[in-house]
Homo-oligomer: A and B are copies of this chain.
Amino acid sequence: MIIESMLDPFFRRLELRDTLSNEEKLALQRAAHEHRFYKASADLVVQGDYPDVSSLLLTGLTSRYNLTDRGFRQITAIHVPGDFVDIHSFTLKKMDHSVGALSDVAVLTFPHAALQEITEKFPHLTRLLWLMSTLDGAIHRRWLVAMGRTSATEHLAHFVCETYMRLESIGLASAHRMVLPITQEELGDVLGLSAVHVNRVLQDLRRQDAVRWIGNEIEIPDWARLAALGQFDGDHLFLERLPR
């Protein structure tokens, strides 16, 4: 059963960047197919798959990751509700990475056939879906910069700011507090660091009182300072409402 309100985080995400007509909303609702659930640490899609649906994340967190020959893992993206975890599989067809659940998650699937129909009937909506995948690309680029040219501390600070702003923008965080079900091991896989070093860097941020992080609960006591530390500005999140 597809409940209309399920799409709210997605509509919200789109409407942060442009306006959506009612017909477009309806078209998206009609394109939605199936409600699926996954347990924490389950894989939604596996590298090499040729999925015939794309999954919109409704609740929980997921990550895109790859494994290297030596068994190391690199997480290349984190998804929050309202994100398509694999909209790019619509054009790429084959998965170049896996998608795993960081927590228990619920998704809504969109058959590629239905997405194709949207590209045939709703050009503006198509451009918005296209936009969603280019937003992914912008975050990838920002991560490359953080990984290649900033210290571990700066990188972590940046990640915290970015994740907070993404959650906040869809109404899932506020007052500089958020809940993030991610282990230090996983954080290392995001940042390209060892878990041990993540721990040390995190303690460094705590010592400066740049973040308060207890279990899953994170608080940012001084946003401006953490943002400066991480060289964070929200530019690469494109939270600007423009005709697209």
Contact = CB atoms under 8 A, between A and B. Distances in A.
Nearest to A132: B91
Contacts of A238: 92-94, 96
Nearest to A68: B149
A72 B151 CA distance: 12
How many copies make up the complex?
2
A200 interface: no
B92 A148 contact: no
A149 B76 contact: no
Contacts of A137: 88, 133-134, 136-137, 140
Given A92-B238, A123-B126, A68 B141 contact: no
A60 B171 CA distance: 45
Given A126-B123, A149-B72, A192-B148, A140 B140 contact: yes
A72 B94 CA distance: 35
Given A140-B137, A141-B97, A148-B74, A69 B231 contact: yes
Contacts of A192: 144, 147-149
A94 B240 contact: yes
Interface string A115-151: 0100110010011001101111110111111011110
Contact of A119 (B97, B127, B140, B242): B127
A244 interface: yes
Contacts of A93: 238, 240, 242, 244
A225 to B, nearest CB: 14
A97 B144 CA distance: 12
A23 interface: no
A236 interface: yes
A169 to B, nearest CB: 16
A144 B145 CA distance: 10
14 contacts: A72-B149, A74-B145, A74-B149, A76-B145, A91-B130, A92-B238, A93-B244, A97-B141, A119-B126, A119-B127, A137-B137, A144-B192, A147-B147, A148-B192
A-B pairs, 3 with minimum CB distance: A148-B192, A140-B140, A91-B131
Given A72-B149, A144-B192, 19 more contacts: A66-B141, A66-B142, A66-B145, A68-B231, A74-B145, A74-B148, A76-B141, A76-B145, A88-B138, A92-B134, A92-B238, A93-B240, A96-B138, A96-B142, A97-B141, A126-B130, A133-B134, A137-B140, A148-B191
